[in-house]
Chains A and B, each alone.
Chain A
Amino acid sequence: MRAAGEWPGGGTGPPFSALPEENVEDLYDNAPCGYLSTSLDGTIAKINATLLRWLGYERDALVGRRSFSDLLTVGGRIYYETHFAPLLQMQGELGGVALELKTADGTRLPVLLTSAVKTGADGRPHSIRTMVFDAHDRRAYEQELLRAREEAELERDRVQRLARTLQQTLLPPALPEVPGMEVAAYYHPASLDQVGGDFYDLFPLSGNTWGFFLGDVSGKGENAAVVTSLIRYTLRGAAVYDPDPASVLAHLNTVLYQAHQGEYPRFCTVIYGNLRLDGAGAVMTVAGGGHTPALVLRADGTSSLLHLRGGQLVGALEEARFVVDEIRLEPGDAILLYTDGLTEARTGADRWYSEEDLRDDLSGLVPATAAVVIDAVNRLLESLGDGVEDDTALLAMSVPSQDGAGT
């Protein structure tokens, strides 16, 4: 080793001619990289000592006898023939290709290759020159990268599973059977790795009365999940305590408002209702807390929105107002509750799918049983595709037609 400062350029070093003897032949043979020349068909014509040493072959075993692709692993050979060779033929040179060579004792030598086509005096290609670099370090680094990517993928799967599981705990495992009614629900998550803030439930109250609700919490993710859980249990508890729908929502409003005073405000929009079986049909008393209007589908195919205008969202104001209405479902009628993932789906640069669009798209649906309605909305969601940016929860209830059609 020379000390720093003695090299040329520093002004004090020796001229190049004084370097230890360096002849071209020796440089070729003992260069710190492999050199390989082949004919156009791949037969090895010339190979340097460095590469022979790396591969563990005698010169005579390769030159004139073996072709370059014989040195490749089988998978590498396919890669060479389908990618490397065509490109080299088309553009005359190619660099930075990672392959593995097979050594004489069967071990693998990871290398980086750079090749150039050599043309003769007539301008026609007559051979291929290849430089071979040892790529052990790079290969080890790549394997680290691949492993890291696999781990990241596993981790993502785990997060998605966790989100799905958590989501399921926020929704009823299965809707209960309601005698004389058909019920169906669906949850369409907009994202696989985030817990959404939509919720619904349907549960028995007393005798022939049932409680149900569907709503949407502001925000997403774990904070929304905590609020969703609080809402669900508060609503069920409040309904047992005082089943009047407006009282149930007032109770929830107080709990939410107090729970989040001073922090980031958390609130929800929700429809809460009681369902009472009555003769051949059912009577519903419904309270609206700032939620998108429910859709009512009649046996004759007409549809309308059940607006509960003036009802305020729940949890944001100390005193909130809720609007109550009563509706009767006859045989063949259905009602659909949904969240605004559906009605805020983008249908154009500046256009959103509206409640009115939904009403019009679902009119004429006969028989509108709960399952048929959910199915129709699912097809709608599919057609809106990427336009659906938010989660969507659906809850449909219907009274079967008396002629048995649609059951």
Chain B
Amino acid sequence: MSDDAFSMSLRPVAAGVVLGLKGDVDTHTAPGVLAGIRGLVLREGELLVLDVSGMRFCDSSGISAFIAARNHAAAARADVVLVGVPRQTLRVLGMIGLDALFTFRPNLDDALSARDANSAGGA
């Protein structure tokens, strides 16, 4: 069952918030992800990290979740970083012309330290 394979976690960090998605992000699980994203309170300049390194499967409803995250963050003038995006999903994002909308990082440490470096440089 896809529901068994799926889990979502939320963790506040100094830079903002990390939303972790594990398992299958598909028609059954995506509505929950969307609701989760819309419920996030983001402040200007904060970071929304979508950690999908544990994601096993992602169909077009998973892509909608990425877009919703991006639109939700943009409305709050926050930034979005995608962490651990599988190759097949990267290929799809490139195909639909959305790769330029997101920042990609291989892992969570990279995402957060790059941010610290940026903040430090900007301060």
Q: Do chains A and B touch in the complex (CB under 8 A)?
A: yes
- Contact surface of A with B, Cβ cutoff 8 Å: 218-220, 264-265, 267, 269, 289-292, 309-313, 316-317, 320-321, 323, 352
Stretch at the interface among B9-17, B59-67, B108-116: B59-67
> Are B60 and A290 in contact (CB-based, < 8 A)?
no
Report Cα–Cα, A100/B64, bound state, in Å: 59
- Contact surface of B with A, Cβ cutoff 8 Å: 27, 31, 34, 60-61, 63-64, 67-68, 71, 88, 95-98, 100-101
> When A219-B27, A220-B27, A265-B67 are in contact, do A292 and B60 touch as well, CB less than 8 Å?
no
Nearest opposing residue in chain B for A288, CB measure: B97
B31's partner among A218, A264, A321 (CB-CB below 8 A) is A264
B60's partner among A218, A311, A321 (CB-CB below 8 A) is A218
B96's partner among A220, A265, A290, A352 (CB-CB below 8 A) is A290
> When A219-B61, A352-B88 are in contact, do A312 and B96 touch as well, CB less than 8 Å?
yes
**Contact partners of A292 in chain B: CB under 8 A:** 95
- Give me the 10 closest cross-chain CB pairs, A-B, nearest first: A290-B96, A312-B97, A218-B60, A313-B96, A316-B67, A290-B97, A265-B64, A311-B97, A310-B97, A269-B96
> Are A317 and B67 in contact (CB-based, < 8 A)?
yes
The smallest beta-carbon distance between B36 and chain A, in angstroms, is 14
Nearest opposing residue in chain A for B34, CB measure: A264
**Contact partners of B61 in chain A: CB under 8 A:** 218-219
Report Cα–Cα, A219/B61, bound state, in Å: 7
Of A316, A320, A321, chain B has the most CB atoms within 10 Å of the CB of A316
> Are B60 and A219 in contact (CB-based, < 8 A)?
yes
A-B contact sample (16 more), CB < 8 A, given A309-B97, A316-B71: A265-B68, A267-B64, A289-B97, A290-B95, A290-B96, A291-B95, A310-B100, A311-B97, A312-B96, A312-B97, A313-B96, A313-B98, A316-B67, A316-B98, A320-B97, A352-B88
